[in-house]
Amino acid sequence: MTLNRREFVQLAAAMGASLAWGGSARASTTGWHERRDLYPEGVASGDPDPSSVILWTRRPFESGGRRVLTVEVAEDDAFRRVVAKASAPVSAESDWTTRVLVGHLKPARVYWYRFIDGEANGSRVGRTITAPPANDPRPVNFAFVSCQSVNEGKLNGYRRMIFEDERAAPADQLGFVLHLGDFIYEVVEYPDELPTRYDRTIYEVCRIPDGGQTGKFHYPLTVEGYRAVYKGYLADPDLQDARARWPFVAIWDNHEFSWQGRQSIVQAGGAPQPGQTVKVAANQAWFEYIPARVNAPSGSLDTFGAVAVKNVPIETWDDSGLGIEPNNLKAINSLIAYRSLRYGRHLDLILTDQHSFCGDDPTDAEGVGKIYDPAFNGMFSEPAMIALDAGRTFNGGKPPAELSFGDVSIPNPRKDSPPRTLLGTRQKNWFMDQLRRSAATWKIWGNSLGALDLRADPQNLPDGLTKQKWPADTFAQIGSGDYGSAYHERGEIYDLVRDSKITGFAIVSGDRHSFWAGYAASRLPPAKFEPVGISFVGASLASPGAMEGGL
């Protein structure tokens, strides 16, 4: 969709971005000279469409209030053909970050950009690419990444991506990088407290001000704490170079907010705690450091405008498991990250948020621990997991009164509960509508959580892999944190794809720290096997793999 200038101004205002409007090309007259030290987190671009893209930088000043940078966008890297120039305000209130929406650009085109302060001190030069128009038949090339713990590794995977992309033919170069979450890990280890973990060196990221601690992990509770983590991560040179080379399209996973948290509940290895102020702080820092087409609560071009909330226990839930406590709802809705982007004729990219509206984990229900045996290294009865996930909808509305494993039986704690949802009602309705309406060749679901079954066959494992023999003639499920065990909701989505005859359905996801590929199917054999698409899970960029973590 092409916007006129008035519509473009309204869009930029809603997104909390400054704006620039492309025009005739002319040579730069800014007197720019590069001072990367004054722009310590580099530059970035994000969420391109056929005529616009968001540009980002951070230029901190030692003192003073609002300052104004200049941004230039050019058709060449020497800036002899500057097509857009605009002011970009920065202030301490937004941690000296700025977001500029540049419009009236040409589709499927490489542009170069840079920021300049009042003394002509310039950022490094960034490169970005607009999307092809909706009827463009050319292939779309992108890479998807996730899980980049610089605390426990290095991001030299980006270096290899850059190396290959620079040497590729133009038609084979990447159009964008899709980041599927865990851009940061809010749980930070300090090298002087923990020099190594999983035989990996622990690297300094930051020191978190006014945060919390669980074991050797420190975590933020304020926007200043989250900002410190983002700045620590963006000190990585390979990440900076990647953000300067390609536009990124990003959706968060759990660690942009809280390790085991959901909605506005904070949980970092201990008991869950109300964290409405923490959720708002996490959203604000994400907004400030990740250029994306999301709307700021303030409607301001300069600042996020954090909503006022209190940390209050959530005691009332709707039928989807959403806490209806007002502060919880305000915190969640302070930033809505799910969205879709179109790339030419062939790609609709639909991004969803699996944590802000997520219901509780069925395996946390009362008594379930009695049918879980640690002797089986994280494996849980697959039939019990399916019944727990479906709740009162299991078996056509006839759930079992009891659940059993081996010689242990418990009352079914979820026989009267609704099925689990990761998306929540509103987002799921939006997502399904996007699938129905898409006319693109490929409808790609960008989902931070893996969707392939985490199934194991413990009856046929070699002796010694478990401490005792599996006491059932069933398969096992490993873990309960992603779509591998969200059978009911995953089935709803796949049934829609099948019944609506939607073609070209694919899923790309992360989080598991390992590579997976397979068919998107609600059930595996011996149940009826009906694939409706394909599903991929990418390994982590730097975070410890599943085998390192002891799975």
Mean pLDDT of 454-462: 88
Give percent of the chain above pLDDT 70: 95
CA trace torsion 426, 432, 435, 436 (10° rounding): -120
Distances (CA, A) of 143 to 242, 363, 397, 403: 12, 34, 42, 43
Q: For residue 47, what pLDDT band results from cuts at 50, 70 and 90?
A: very high
Question: Quick one: pLDDT at residue 460?
Answer: 87
Question: Quick one: pLDDT at residue 55?
Answer: 97
Q: What is the pLDDT of residues 311-344, one digit of tens each?
A: 999 999 999 999 999 999 999 999 999 999 999 9
* Residue scoring higher pLDDT (372 or 58): 58
Residue 42, pLDDT above cutoff 80: yes
Residue 1, pLDDT above cutoff 60: no
Distances (CA, A) of 474 to 34, 155, 419, 452: 63, 40, 22, 18
Q: What is the pLDDT of residues 230-243, one digit of tens each?
A: 999 999 999 999 99
Which tokens in the block code for residue 61? Answer: 């000043």
Question: Quick one: pLDDT at residue 545?
Answer: 84
Residue 277, pLDDT above cutoff 70: yes
Q: Using CA atoms, how far apart are residues 69 and 85, in angstroms rounded to an integer?
A: 11
Which tokens in the block code for residue 448? Answer: 């931070």
Q: For residue 401, what pLDDT band results from cuts at 50, 70 and 90?
A: very high
Q: Does domain 1-131 have CATH number 2.60.40.380?
A: yes
The neighbouring-strand residues paired with 116 are: 70, 122
User: What is 80-113 written as a DSSP string?
Assistant: SSEEEEEEEEE-GGGTTEEEEEEESPPTT-EEEE
* Best CA proximity match to 57, nearest among 214, 231, 228: 231
* Secondary structure (H, E, C), 352-371: ECCCCCCCCCHHHCCCHHHH
Q: Which distant-in-sequence residues (6+ apart) come within 8 Å of 530 by Cβ?
A: 494, 498, 521, 522, 523
Give percent of the chain above pLDDT 90: 81
The neighbouring-strand residues paired with 443 are: 348, 505
Half-sphere exposure (CA, 13 Å, Cβ side) for 389?
25
Single-letter amino acid code for the residue at 383? P
- Cβ atoms of 124 and 114 within 8 Å: the answer is yes
- Cβ atoms of 184 and 282 within 8 Å: the answer is no
Question: Quick one: pLDDT at residue 65?
Answer: 85
Which tokens in the block code for residue 296? Answer: 């700021």
* Secondary structure (H, E, C), 192-207: CCCCEECCEECCCCCC
* Best CA proximity match to 455, nearest among 525, 358, 506: 525
Which tokens in the block code for residue 495? Answer: 């049934």
Query: Can you tell me which residue has the tokens 């509960």?
Result: 417
Q: What is the pLDDT of residues 105-164, one digit of tens each?
A: 999 999 999 999 999 999 999 999 999 999 999 999 999 999 999 999 999 999 999 999
Question: Quick one: pLDDT at residue 89?
Answer: 94
CA trace torsion 536, 538, 539, 542 (10° rounding): -170
Give the pairing type, strands 347-352 and 442-449. parallel
Question: Quick one: pLDDT at residue 301?
Answer: 63
* Best CA proximity match to 284, nearest among 310, 312, 257: 257
Q: Using CA atoms, how far apart are residues 465 and 463, in angstroms rounded to an integer?
A: 6
Distances (CA, A) of 527 to 183, 246, 419, 482, 485: 37, 43, 20, 21, 16
Give the pairing type, strands 408-411 and 33-34. unpaired
Question: Quick one: pLDDT at residue 532?
Answer: 98
pTM, two decimals, is 0.95
Handedness of CA 171, 176, 180, 186 (dihedral sign): positive
Which tokens in the block code for residue 110? Answer: 């490489």
Mean pLDDT of 357-374: 90
- Continuous H helices in 168-318: 223-233, 237-245, 276-289
- Continuous H helices in 290-366: 326-332
Question: Quick one: pLDDT at residue 346?
Answer: 97
Q: Which helix (H) or strand (E) holds 485?
A: none
* Best CA proximity match to 228, nearest among 154, 265, 281: 281
Q: For residue 38, what pLDDT band results from cuts at 50, 70 and 90?
A: very high
* CATH 2.60.40.380 residue spans of the chain: 1-131
Single-letter amino acid code for the residue at 38? L
Question: Quick one: pLDDT at residue 223?
Answer: 98
The neighbouring-strand residues paired with 410 are: 403
Which tokens in the block code for residue 356? Answer: 């802000």
Mean pLDDT of 348-353: 98
Lowest mean pLDDT among 220-229, 384-393, 470-479: 470-479
Query: Can you tell me which residue has the tokens 């929540």?
Result: 424
**Interaxial angle between packed helices 382-390 and 487-499, expressed in degrees from 0 to 180 and rounded to the nearest 10:** 80
Residue 479, pLDDT above cutoff 60: yes
Question: Quick one: pLDDT at residue 379?
Answer: 86
Query: Can you tell me which residue has the tokens 């893996």?
Result: 450
Specify the DSSP class assigned to residue 262: B
